[in-house]
Amino acid sequence: MIRMGMIGCGSMADRHISALAPLQGRMRFTAFADIELPRAQRLASSVAGAVAAENYRDIFDHVDAIIIALPHDLHHQVGMDCLRAGKHVLMEKPLALTEAQCLELIAADRSPEPVLMLGYVMRHHPLWKQMGEYIRQRTYGEAFHVSIWTEQYTDASQGAWIGQAKRLGGGQLFSHGCHYIDLLLDWLGDPVCGTHIGTRLGTPWMEREGTSNVSLKFKSGATAYHFGTWGARGSRLGYAAHAHCTEGMLELDHAEGTITLHRDKSGGDLPALEALAFKGEAPKDINKVVVYRCSGADKRRKAVVQQIEAFLDCIEKKMKPDISAQASLRSLQVIWKLYEAEEGMVVADLR
Ligand SMILES: NC(=O)c1ccc[n+]([C@@H]2O[C@H](COP(=O)([O-])OP(=O)(O)OC[C@H]3O[C@@H](n4cnc5c(N)ncnc54)[C@H](O)[C@@H]3O)[C@@H](O)[C@H]2O)c1
């Protein structure tokens, strides 16, 4: 039974606690730390026998593994301290604020003893994982363009750290867009060039961009687009992705939990859409059919569970994590180059 600790008992911690009940046979929370002690105490009081501390170093004796869910400017120092104490670490994304800090954490990484894994939860989301498999395996031909939209309202007007560029490490792109840059690189391979254009208009609480537009071109020739905003006062797309492939367009609808194949050009000898329907689905019209449906009411909860399962697998079976510190650096380097090019009003060379 792995004794799990949590450093940073804010909104992310709450999500972990409520989602992780199914893993009770493999792990239990034994300690919580937060500089605002009542937050740690609140979580500790919900788990029998768990302790609460104001100083995160005080939980080291009570845990084997630690989830770090802190403001980004604390990831480097706290991560180094946890690794030096020999604790397995699941670090919420992003790894750290600068390349130098990331390289120090990578140099200190002795995975799998102890494991250092990055929390890119969308990589574990069943719907987004399936989309990636379709693209990588060319199930519907070659993907030549992918677009991703994330539209949400995240208000930091009360002075929260996420509005502060120095604590966040940038703006919406660095903090939330990083999930989708990571996915695009995982789906489409190495990027060669790209641009970022962001704005604070509409999100005055953000010191840097609250709305972000990224265009990328990959070695394969494929292009991609990512639009993310924290200023959406309403949304139709919510979180969505489209992949234009040579045998049709895949539409991921996050809220519905579906991937729909659209094909309205003659496919020659391609299978009829009916033959591609997910179990129990019938084509909605002659041009589209649901090819995947993510069952279960709370898909996000499932992704959090699967992420922690992957972390526990690495600890128990002494495996290196797929989403290692080193692997996570690649998408951050892309983001830093995009930011740099934006300042210089040029296209970023990402080769
Ligand atoms: N994967 C996701 O989808 C997702 C979603 C939201 C947040 N996150 C990540 O989770 C992390 C935390 O974000 P959040 O939204 O929970 O932030 P939050 O502000 O809600 O919580 C951060 C907590 O850290 C505590 N804290 C600050 N300084 C501390 C210190 N020195 N020692 C101990 N505790 C300290 C704060 O008091 C607060 O309770 C970030 O890395 C963020 O990017 C991930």
Residue 115 lies in a domain: yes
Give the pLDDT mean for 20-44: 93
The answer to whether residues 287 and 264 touch, using CB atoms and an 8 Å cutoff, is yes
Residue 276 contacts by C-beta under 8 Å, 6 or more apart in sequence?
261, 289, 291
Asked if 183 and 268 sit in the same domain, the reply is yes
From 264, 281, 300, the end of a domain falls on 300
Q: How confident is the model at residue 298 (pLDDT cuts 50, 70, 90)?
A: low
- The closest-lying atom of ligand 1 relative to the alpha carbon of residue 36 is 37
Asked if 137 and 162 sit in the same domain, the reply is yes
Share of the chain above pLDDT 90, in %: 84
* Per-residue confidence (pLDDT) for residue 265, from 0 to 100: 66
Q: What is the mean pLDDT of the chain?
A: 94
Structure confidence by residue, pLDDT tens digits, 146-169 = 999 999 999 988 878 999 999 999
* Per-residue confidence (pLDDT) for residue 192, from 0 to 100: 98
SS3 98: coil
Structure confidence by residue, pLDDT tens digits, 62-76 = 999 999 999 999 999
The residue behind tokens 């480097």 is: 76
Tell me the sheet residues that pair with 242: 147, 251
Structure confidence by residue, pLDDT tens digits, 230-249 = 999 999 999 999 999 999 99
* Per-residue confidence (pLDDT) for residue 148, from 0 to 100: 98
Residue 145 lies in a domain: yes
Of how many residues is the chain composed?
A: 351
Query: Residue 318, class by beta-carbon neighbours within 10 Å (0-12 exposed, 13-18 middle, 19+ buried)?
Result: exposed
Structure confidence by residue, pLDDT tens digits, 134-149 = 999 999 999 999 999 9
Structure confidence by residue, pLDDT tens digits, 265-285 = 666 677 788 888 898 888 777
**Whose Cα sits closest to atom 38 in ligand 1?**
10
Residue 339 has pLDDT above 70, yes or no: yes
Residue 333 lies in a domain: no
From ligand 1's centre to the CA of 283, what distance in Å?
43
- How would you classify the pairing of strands 2-7 and 65-68? parallel
CATH number at residue 233: 3.30.360.10
CATH number at residue 98: 3.40.50.720
* Per-residue confidence (pLDDT) for residue 283, from 0 to 100: 74
Residue 337 lies in a domain: no
Ligand 1 neighbourhood includes 156 CB (under 6 angstroms): no
Residue 346 lies in a domain: no
Alpha carbon 213 to chain centroid distance?
17
E strands along the chain, which residues? 2-7, 27-33, 51-53, 65-68, 88-92, 116-119, 143-151, 191-199, 211-218, 223-229, 239-245, 248-253, 258-262, 288-293, 348-349
Residue 351 lies in a domain: no
* Per-residue confidence (pLDDT) for residue 337, from 0 to 100: 98
Residue 297 has pLDDT above 70, yes or no: no
Distance CA 228, CA 321 (A): 28
From 285, 300, 315, the end of a domain falls on 300
Structure confidence by residue, pLDDT tens digits, 168-225 = 999 999 999 999 999 999 999 999 999 999 999 999 999 999 999 999 999 999 999 9
* Per-residue confidence (pLDDT) for residue 211, from 0 to 100: 98
Give the pLDDT mean for 78-104: 98
Asked if 63 and 159 sit in the same domain, the reply is no
- Measure the CA angle with vertex 326, ends 325 and 328; round to 5°: 65
Ligand 1 neighbourhood includes 334 CB (under 6 angstroms): no
Distance CA 235, CA 217 (A): 27
Ligand 1 neighbourhood includes 95 CB (under 6 angstroms): no
Token pair for residue 249? 């367009």
Asked if 207 and 257 sit in the same domain, the reply is yes
The helix (run of H) or strand (run of E) holding residue 331 is helix 325-343
* Per-residue confidence (pLDDT) for residue 311, from 0 to 100: 97
Residue 84 has pLDDT above 80, yes or no: yes
* Per-residue confidence (pLDDT) for residue 18, from 0 to 100: 78
The answer to whether residues 172 and 205 touch, using CB atoms and an 8 Å cutoff, is no
Q: How confident is the model at residue 40 (pLDDT cuts 50, 70, 90)?
A: very high
Residue 231 contacts by C-beta under 8 Å, 6 or more apart in sequence?
153, 202, 203, 210, 211
Distance CA 156, CA 153 (A): 10
Q: For residue 88, which of 328, 317, 305 has the smallest C-alpha distance?
A: 317
For 156, phi then psi, to 5°, come to: -110, 30
Asked if 175 and 281 sit in the same domain, the reply is yes
Residue 38 lies in a domain: yes
Asked if 194 and 263 sit in the same domain, the reply is yes
Residue 8 has pLDDT above 90, yes or no: yes
User: Which of 41, 92, 101, 121 has the most ligand 1 atoms within 8 A of CB, as the residue to mutate?
Assistant: 92
Ligand 1 neighbourhood includes 6 CB (under 6 angstroms): no
Q: For residue 81, which of 52, 71, 91 has the smallest C-alpha distance?
A: 91
Higher pLDDT, 157 or 53: 53
Domain count along the chain:
2
Residue 57 lies in a domain: yes
Asked if 134 and 64 sit in the same domain, the reply is no
The domain of 230 spans: 123-300
Residue 259 has pLDDT above 90, yes or no: yes
